[in-house]
Structure 1
Amino acid sequence: MIGTRELDAAGATGAALRASYARCRAINAEHGKTYFLATLLLPPAKRPYVHALYGFARHVDDIVDDLSPDLTAEQRADSFTDWSADFLSDLDWGASSDPVSRAVIDTIARWQIPVSYFADFLDAMRLDLTVTSYATYDDLARYMWGSAAVIGLQMLPILGRRDDDVRWDVLESHAIELGTAFQLTNFIRDIAEDLRRGRVYLPQESLDMFGVDRDRLARGRVDEPIRNLLAWEIERARRSYTAAAPGLDLVHPTSRDCLRTATTLYAEILDEIERVDYDVFSRRVHVPGRRRLAVGASGLRGAWTARRGGRHG
């Protein structure tokens, strides 16, 4: 089995730990279509760790969304605070009974990923239980540090750098921009879904600029103010993709096609939103399957070339 080959290559031993990594792989395959495709372009020894990071982020997001609606926002936040404290205690201890947490704790230890990135991520997820909008982009950026930027930073030790001449701080700055670009793309694509959960992630200052309010978004009809608003936010996201682009050549050669594939497919979601005249309300916009396969096939050829060059990373 492919999953077994990956676990063998990664040196994951013990039935419980291997089952935990397999669970994270299944979560990535089910929910992270673009990320899962991109992860398959990594050397097998690296894939389980990326599955674990994705699986953990999705697991926490589901915990936040599934907390009982019968509780007040403060009670839900308190419940999640308790769960977060338990996870951080398990992380300090080095083991967990939660299968997803078990895999990510092993990943953190193997790659020496700073614990602060996970604490910041949990803090951002807690905000989703009490904060339903952000007044300014600066306010939103503080949220995105924990919800997106640190995820890019978590990935870097696994992706590796091209060579020792690449400064980590430079690579980190590009990773932060890419995480932000992915998150902004999600915010634009998922407006309708977020509204159903009572949240609006587009800054209020942007809505005000174009005369759009929450009720107008909730009606789900694309008019000129909404087109102008989304066009504005799409250009903001594209600026982050542009700022992140130089970092793609700075990661290890065997990780490069993974990152390029994910970046290309995610950035093209913005193209698709424009193609459907900014209608993010009637369906979830996605890159067509044939295009995904074409980009994935191109990435696979590049990944094979990098591995044949003996650069296994």
Structure 2
Amino acid sequence: MGISLNSQATTESVYNAALALGIANQLTNILRDVEEDANGGRVYLPQDELAQAGLSDEDIFAGKVTDKWRNFMKNQIKRAKMFFDEAKKGVTELNEASRCFLLLQLPFSGPLFAANLAASAVPKMLCVRFYYLYL
């Protein structure tokens, strides 16, 4: 992947944006797969933040949707959005060939994020079609 010849960005800033994209995608996957992971006896959510929110692994395994859970998830989604926003800064500095593919990784540029989080309720392949319809 190459930085655009017209870019004024440093290699370091584009690299940091790439790291942000990786973190954002990982957070999205964790949030999307909470139910599936819980059914397998796993919780990948940050334990310290669950405790701060007054939640535990047992709450996750029980699958109860409470106000505490909603607030916790809102904060996690905000965090993912922050990383996607940071990633977007770097993508705009790439050459066109590189930029096109990475724009598919930026769900906050369209309605994909909600579909990605809901992917456990629908076949995950539909998300791929969503990329092409809304970007």
Structure 2 residue 3 is matched with structure 1 residue 161:
yes
Q: CA deviation at 1:195?
A: 2.5
Q: CA deviation at 1:272?
A: 3.8
Q: Does 1:211 align with 2:54?
A: yes
Q: How does 1:195-210 map onto structure 2 within 5 Å?
A: 195-210=38-53
Kindly state the Cα deviation for residue 199 of structure 1 after the two structures are TM-superposed: 2.9
- What's the secondary structure of 1:262's corresponding residue? coil
Change (3 A) 1:215 1:284: farther
Paired position in structure 2 for 1:222: 65
Aligned residues: 133
SS of 2:59's equivalent in the other structure is helix
TM-superposition CA deviations, 1:78-111 (whole Å, max 9, x none) = xxxxxxxxxxxxxxxxxxxxxxxxxxxxxxxxxx
- The question of 1:291 aligning with 2:130 is answered yes
Q: Give the structure-1-normalised TM-score.
A: 0.37
Offset at residue 221 of structure 1 (A): 2.8
Question: How does 1:243-258 map onto structure 2 within 5 Å?
Answer: 243-258=86-101
- Does the C-alpha gap of structure 1 residues 203 and 292 become closer, same or farther in structure 2, counting only changes over 3 Å? same
Structure 1 stretches lacking a partner, 5+ long: 1-158, 299-313
The answer (yes or no) to whether the contact 1:181–1:237 under 8 Å persists in 2 is: yes
Q: Deviations over 1:105-148 (max 9, x none)?
A: xxxxxxxxxxxxxxxxxxxxxxxxxxxxxxxxxxxxxxxxxxxx
Query: What runs of 5+ residues in structure 2 fail to find an aligned partner?
Result: none
1:165-176 maps to which residues of 2 (within 5 A)?
166-176=9-19
Partner of 1:260: 103
Structure 2 counterpart of 1:207, one-letter code: L
Select the structure of larger CA radius of gyration.
Answer: 1
Whose relative contact order is higher, 1 or 2, with alpha carbons under 8 Å and at least 6 apart?
2
Contact 1:162-1:250 at 8 Å conserved across structures:
yes
Identity of aligned residues (%): 27
In 1, distance between residues paired with 2:40 and 2:99?
36
Identify the structure with the greater helix proportion.
Answer: 1
